[in-house]
Amino acid sequence: MVLANDEVNVDDFPATGSETDDSGSFQRAINSANATGKRVIRLKSNKTYSVKSKINSFNDLTFIGDNTRILGAKSPKFMDAMDRNLFIGIWFDNYNFVVQSNKEQVSFENCKFTNIGTVAIYYYGGTKSYVKNCQFSNITNSSIIMDNDAKQIMIRDCFFTNPFPFNGLAVSSSDAAHIHALNGKNIIAINNRVFNSGGQGIIFGNNSSSGKGVTYSQAIGNYCEGNGQEGITSYGYLKGTTWTTFNNIIMGNICVNNRYHQIEVWLSPDNTVIGNIVDESGTTGNIGAITLFGTSRTICTGNKVVNAANNGIAILSGSDKNIITDNVIIGTNSIGALSSAATSGQGILLDSSGGASPTRIIIKDNIIESKDTTKTSTLNKWGIYSTTTSMQGNTIKDNRTYGYAGETHYYAKKTTRHLNDVKPVGTNSGYDPHVENIAMTELGKTGSKYVIKGWNLIGTTWLEDRVLTGN
């Protein structure tokens, strides 16, 4: 509860005869609060203030409105916030930047941001702050940016949108996102509804200039639709011997009809992608509805993929030691006519994609079901497929596939450490001690014919595991 004697009212400082807007009123009210020790700046309910000059703030100020509109003139920004500034119930309209902060505890509740040219809230090194129950619309670039070692920023229960899917852009915008984390730690985006950015809906990325990225951050329970690149992305690169972006969690989100991948982990290790739902029924998508590109030690489990435009889950370009388990993939290759030109559409794809082949991938206990058994079978689509045919140390077992040409293609089997069509050579071959034969044929003479089920490594020797056929 705010007591009246703790407040300064902006309307108690009216514009002077030489002033053409309310900027002076705001600044005098703030100066008075700072001089008298009052900590609340009160704005009149349902009123529009014209503020065309940048406002200077002080520590420990709370700005309270009630559907109160502050109208800018694009440039300059409204304010560089100070420590422990809180904004409640204010509508910011027609700015390039609204608030920039390198301070702590600069937060927003029940605010609205419209017609923003560059970024609404810019946490440039800000810490211990939150944005809660706010609305963002008609944002040309990004709604919220975090950079320069921003830490402990929470964005929750907010609504982000633009007038058209992909922000009306014919091509994607790589430098935009509604929630755009360039560099920082412990950034949490939870239960937001994120629509129609020109770039990603939510990205944990990196700042290529500083060589720093986003770590130990979480996107949980968000709904992302119609964004111009991915719904949610963890994106980085290897700088020297250190990854910029890693250890992020993408959990319990719904991503629908974003332009490219619905969820993407790109050159970013040690992430968790768990319990998400993705749907591409109204977009052309890209390689995979969920895509892991050059990522290592990432767990992708318990996700549901429906109506993938191309492949359900794509593991690409040098990805290593990823675990793909307990996912449900229903429907792939939903675009393209029934023809040889439609070349995508496996349930799970392993592909070098211009780089190295994926290695030491565990693919286990996934359910993959086709919605169009004619298309997937006729076009020779498989539950699990690889473009590489040599052993890569992968494990593929206990998956269930329905309506495809088969469960695991011969090429994918050849990448595993437990399946082969010839006897392994050497004790350091990388194969498991027991290798199953994927090309069994009947051998031997009549009366003693047999098949080779596989090979067992006994000591330093590979021995055939033979079974008589009775013929």
DSSP states along 187-199: EEEES-EEE--SS
Residue 463 sits in which domain range? Answer: 419-471
Return d(Cα 311, Cα 332) in angstroms, integer: 6
Is the peptide bond between 76 and the residue preceding it cis, with omega within 30 degrees of 0?
yes
* The predicted structure's pLDDT at residue 223: 98
pTM, two decimal places: 0.95
Choosing from 56, 80, 113, the residue where a domain stops is: 113
- Number of domains into which the chain is organized: 3
* The predicted structure's pLDDT at residue 1: 43
- List C-alpha distances in Å: 23 to 59, 72, 235, 402: 19, 10, 40, 66
- List C-alpha distances in Å: 443 to 112, 119, 448: 76, 71, 9
Q: Do 64 and 42 form a contact (C-beta atoms < 8 A)?
A: yes
Residues 127, 187, single domain; the answer is: yes
* Cα-based torsion angle of the residue sequence 11, 16, 20, 24 in order, rounded to the nearest 10 degrees: -60
Q: Do 191 and 157 form a contact (C-beta atoms < 8 A)?
A: yes
Residues 139, 200, single domain; the answer is: yes
Q: What amino acid occupies position 151?
A: K
Q: 164: closest CA among 143, 142, 137?
A: 137
Q: For the chain, which ranges sit under pLDDT 50?
A: 1-3, 340
User: What is the chain's length?
Assistant: 471
Residues 355, 432, single domain; the answer is: no
The 10 Å CB-count burial string (b at 16+, else e) for 160-193 is bbbeebbbebeebbeebbbbbbbbbbbbbbbebb
* The predicted structure's pLDDT at residue 343: 59
pLDDT tens per residue, range 388-429: 999 999 999 999 999 999 999 999 999 999 999 999 998 888
Which residue carries 């509508």 as its tokens? 91
Enter the DSSP assignment of 13: S
| CA dihedral over 382, 383, 386, 390, signed as positive or negative | negative
* Cα-based torsion angle of the residue sequence 394, 343, 406, 350 in order, rounded to the nearest 10 degrees: 10
Return d(Cα 29, Cα 35) in angstroms, integer: 10
Q: Do 229 and 201 form a contact (C-beta atoms < 8 A)?
A: no
Q: Do 286 and 264 form a contact (C-beta atoms < 8 A)?
A: no
Residues 456, 321, single domain; the answer is: no
Q: 202: closest CA among 217, 277, 216, 401?
A: 217
Residues 2, 130, single domain; the answer is: no
Return d(Cα 316, Cα 114) in angstroms, integer: 39
Residues 64, 205, single domain; the answer is: no
* The predicted structure's pLDDT at residue 342: 54
Q: What amino acid occupies position 404?
A: Y
Residues 409, 431, single domain; the answer is: no
Return d(Cα 365, Cα 384) in angstroms, integer: 12
* Cα-based torsion angle of the residue sequence 391, 392, 394, 396 in order, rounded to the nearest 10 degrees: -40
Residues 65, 185, single domain; the answer is: no
Residues 101, 86, single domain; the answer is: no
Choosing from 418, 438, 458, the residue where a domain stops is: 418
- List C-alpha distances in Å: 1 to 4, 53, 134, 349, 388: 10, 31, 21, 57, 65
Residues 437, 308, single domain; the answer is: no
Residues 385, 471, single domain; the answer is: no
At 374, which helix (H) or strand (E)?
A: helix 373-378
Residues 189, 279, single domain; the answer is: yes
Q: What are the structure tokens assigned to 322, written together?
A: 């990823």
Within the chain, how many helices (H) and strands (E) appear?
Answer: 3, 49
Choosing from 380, 403, 418, the residue where a domain stops is: 418
34 SS3 class: helix
